[in-house]
Amino acid sequence: MSASWSVSLRSLDRILYMRQRLRLPSRLLLILLGAMAVSAQGEARGRGAQEAGTLFTGERVFAGFDGRRREALARQRAPSAILVVGGRVVAIGAVAELASTEAGRRARRVDLPGGFIYPGFQDAHGGLERLGRDLEHVDLAQCESVGDLIQRLQAGAAALPAGRWVQASGWDSAQLSGASEEGRAALAAAVSRAMPDHPVLLREVSGDGLLLNVAGWAQCGLVRGGAGAKDATPSGGWLRGEAAQRALATLQAPTMKERARRVLRGQEVLLRAGFTCVHVSDLDADMARTLAALRADGRLRIRVVGYLDAKIEASPEDWSRWERDPSGADRFELVGVSLGLDGSLATRGAALERAYADDPGGRGAVSVGFATASDLVTQAARLGRQPALRCSGDRAVSLALDIYARTSADFPALIGLRPRLEGLDLGSRTERGRLRSLGVVSSVQPARLGRQTGWAAERLGEGRVLGLQPWRSLLAAGSQPLALGSGSPAVEADPRVTFFTAVSRRAVAAPKTSGFLPGQSLTANEALGGMTSGAAFAATQEDRRGLLARGYGGDLTVLDMDLTQLGSGDAGRALKATVLMTVVNGEILHDAR
């Protein structure tokens, strides 16, 4: 009996039960049976195509990139092809050679003329649910004035009854009225005057703070002058850290169904952009359950590498369900824990050794103490879970390395877990010198530099700004390859933007300007390595992805451009590349042909 016929018999029982309970007419019953048959046949054809395999042909197939090499590795001769069977790479070679093999003759053929086939691009630090959530909110990205911001908020509130929350994402506080306490207060007052009938919440694009109007402040039941709320005024106020979390806790929590919907919407954004895998930090238990459920029912198509918030306790039974994919499709795997140590430079929340140049009284703050963080990391490491510490300012980077040094002294096997540092916006030569001995993997988000170049010198001072986003120094200091992420949704989830910024050190908004500290740029090969093999290495998954090699997962990103030929001068061309196709496990999940 075929698999599709077995599915049909199980579904038939359900339909007959529905007919009996709901008294369906015979004609409607026949329609349901017909639809069921078509669906089963489609599923069978999909499985058959995957089992027979797919032969992808293009202008070039790049087997892989070593992010520790400045020059590119040897490429396949044109035209070339890759054969994927059962979700795994079987062979790479000339089109005629592979097409003439027995497996090649059986395989479905997908021709991509002018297509350059890369190992699937990974986002080593990105959003998933947050991407989907932000699509449901008022979009404040690229707002040019307070008036523009208010118009967008009012348009979003137009269809809502009075008293309903208006939530907005993408607010760049460093660029629009929020760069100082006075600016935040003025913006909160302006929103309060324009929106008196709605509580309003603006999320800072970095994720490091909220701005509420007076109605939102009252709705959250906040007290002026409370902890973390020193910028509060009678017209609303600014919150970050624990105070922001308490405010968010007063909002109605999304249901598991709503969170699943957001994940699926975020997934579509990433697949269209050409990502085949995303690393997501700070998961809570409900999100881990949501991802596991989506994995089980087949709706999670992109690969997700997850890190649970280190402060959350999870049972061994939960971990066993969230780790390896029991189906073998490897769509979601919980590999470790994450912990944020400070905020962002944009909000002056990053913890610095010395005061901010444009705020002599402020150094930022660490969000968790050394002893607590060390205990959490050591506990996770003893259970074999990879730690990932988020740190932006130089004081937070130093703290993270101190935590890893202490953990390594208590548990020498830590180095084998590849402890990660996420962000590393600012660091000293002394701290970079400690990376190699601790076996630390540096995970950076180049596109963040595009936001920082406009105000970095004023905020950090002329001397200290020379240590901003030191990618080449990090690569030289450590023994591990860099992992490159988008940093979305704080910046656009787009591998072309990651590549462009990494190679040029320029902002997308000003692609023809001179690069910011160009000596810290990466070569095309180093950038592509960070987006593929480096990201896989960071997640301890280099044995099955990050390269296009026999037995590796059939994950492909296909562009209409050869990025390996671009340098800092013409890297802007990458922004015009078209993502022709995104393939995960041999399945075509985005097709722009």
pTM, 2 dp: 0.88
7-48 tens-digit pLDDT: 333 343 443 333 443 344 444 444 434 444 444 444 444 444
For the ranges 13-27, 245-259, 299-313, 319-333, the maximum mean pLDDT occurs at 299-313
Residue 548 has pLDDT above 90, yes or no: yes
Least confident among 15-29, 96-110, 129-143, 539-553? 15-29
pLDDT for 77 equals: 62
* SS3 of the chain: helix, strand, coil, percent, to 5: 40, 20, 40
177-230 tens-digit pLDDT: 656 788 888 999 999 999 999 999 999 988 888 999 999 999 988 755 544 444
Cβ neighbours for 35, distance < 8 A, ≥ 6 positions apart: none
> 299 φ, ψ to 5°?
-85, -15
pLDDT for 388 equals: 98
Cβ neighbours for 270, distance < 8 A, ≥ 6 positions apart: 123, 126, 128, 131, 278, 302, 493
| Banded pLDDT at 323 (limits 50, 70, 90) | confident
Say how many C-beta atoms besides its own lie within 10 A of residue 481's C-beta: 26
| Banded pLDDT at 52 (limits 50, 70, 90) | confident
pLDDT for 146 equals: 92
Q: What is the spatial distance between Cα 211 and Cα 195, in angstroms, rounded to a whole number?
A: 14
To which residue do tokens 């090649």 refer?
104
Residue scoring higher pLDDT (124 or 226): 124
Residue 171 has pLDDT above 50, yes or no: yes
Residue 76 has pLDDT above 60, yes or no: no
Question: 3-class SS at 84?
Answer: strand
Least confident among 10-24, 360-374, 458-472? 10-24
Best CA proximity match to 423, nearest among 402, 449, 399, 445 = 445
CATH topology of domain 138-249: Diaminopimelate Epimerase; Chain A, domain 1 (3.10.310)
pLDDT for 534 equals: 96
Percent of the chain with pLDDT strictly greater than 90? 71
Cβ neighbours for 268, distance < 8 A, ≥ 6 positions apart: none
By DSSP bridging, strand 88-94 and strand 210-213 are unpaired
DSSP codes of every residue in 5-26: HHHHHHHHHHHHHHHHHHT--H
- Specify whether the CB–CB gap between 149 and 143 falls below 8 A: yes
Residue scoring higher pLDDT (152 or 144): 152
By DSSP bridging, strand 108-119 and strand 556-559 are antiparallel
| Banded pLDDT at 460 (limits 50, 70, 90) | very high
Say how many C-beta atoms besides its own lie within 10 A of residue 22's C-beta: 8
CA 317 to chain CA centroid, nearest Å:
27
pLDDT for 345 equals: 93
What are the CA-CA distances from residue 557 to residues 4, 95, 138, 429, 578 (Å)?
Answer: 31, 18, 31, 36, 11
Question: 3-class SS at 490?
Answer: coil
Q: What is the spatial distance between Cα 274 and Cα 584, in angstroms, rounded to a whole number?
A: 10
227-252 tens-digit pLDDT: 444 444 556 788 988 888 889 999 98
CATH number of 256-547+564-579: 3.20.20.140
Percent of the chain with pLDDT strictly greater than 70? 87
515-539 tens-digit pLDDT: 899 999 999 999 999 999 999 999 9
pLDDT for 71 equals: 65
Best CA proximity match to 470, nearest among 411, 519, 515 = 519
Residue scoring higher pLDDT (50 or 541): 541
pLDDT for 514 equals: 79
Say how many C-beta atoms besides its own lie within 10 A of residue 243's C-beta: 21
Tell me what the mean pLDDT of segment 467-492 comes to: 93
